[in-house]
Amino acid sequence: MGIDPGTATTGYGVLSVDGDRFETLAFDLIETSKNGRPEKRLSVIHEELLNIISQFTPHVMAIEKVFFATNRKTAIRVGQAQGVMLLAAAHFDIPVVEYAPGTIKKVVGGNGKADKKHMQRSLRRMFGAHIRSKKKGRTHFDNAADALAVALCHACHEMKIDMTTINQNSDGRA
């Protein structure tokens, strides 16, 4: 399970790995009201994650490390959201790993500085054209796609798979 942490939108992606095949089981968002009280927003994220984990029973939760250089308030809020994500994982005794954005971009996109469009093309090559926005807003798909990329990064890391091999096969096989 991959997580792209946020407070307004938290992306999640769940993959199934069977030998050399990867399949998307789910990818979507947990959304909270931007005008909601912080404690309520965190509660929504926690409850939704508990439901998702209960439904899919992932073996690991991979989270994108968050780096903020300018907005301390946002960094604190996202850190709080990560705290409830860790709590949800602990509730089910699921190990948590973190990956830096550059690592995810390098593993999935082949370039540590890949932009979002490049990353989304890599995901579509891997999982097929059905990897599209389920919501109207661009950010919505960005967050869900980022979460899938985090999950894929972890799967590749664990299986010691080079994404260039995966990108050569468009059927989801390594």
Question: Which tops the pLDDT comparison, 172 or 4?
Answer: 4
* pLDDT band, residue 111 (cuts 50/70/90): confident
**pLDDT in the model for residue 21:** 82
Confidence at residue 168, expressed as pLDDT on a 0 to 100 scale: 47
Q: What is the DSSP letter of 129?
A: T
**Calpha distance 8→33 (Å, rounded):** 6
Q: Kindly list the strands in the beta sheet with 21-31, ordered across the sheet, starting from the edge strand earlier in the chain.
A: 21-31, 9-18, 2-4, 61-64, 96-99
Domains in the chain, start-ordered, CATH in brackets?
2-168 (3.30.420.10)
CA dihedral 150, 153, 26, 165 (to 10 degrees): 150
Q: Provide the whole-model pTM.
A: 0.87
pLDDT at 140 over 80: no
Report, as an integer, the average pLDDT of 33-61: 96
Mean pLDDT, residues 2-8 = 94
CB atoms within 10 A of CB 134: 10
* Gap between the Cα atoms of 12 and 162, Å rounded: 23
Which residues share a beta bridge with 24?
15
Query: Would you say residue 172 has pLDDT above 80?
Result: no
**What is the pLDDT at residue 27?**
93
pLDDT exceeds cutoff 50 at 170: no
DSSP string, 17-54: EETTEEEEEEEEEEE--TTS-HHHHHHHHHHHHHHHHH
**Whole-number pLDDT of residue 149:** 94
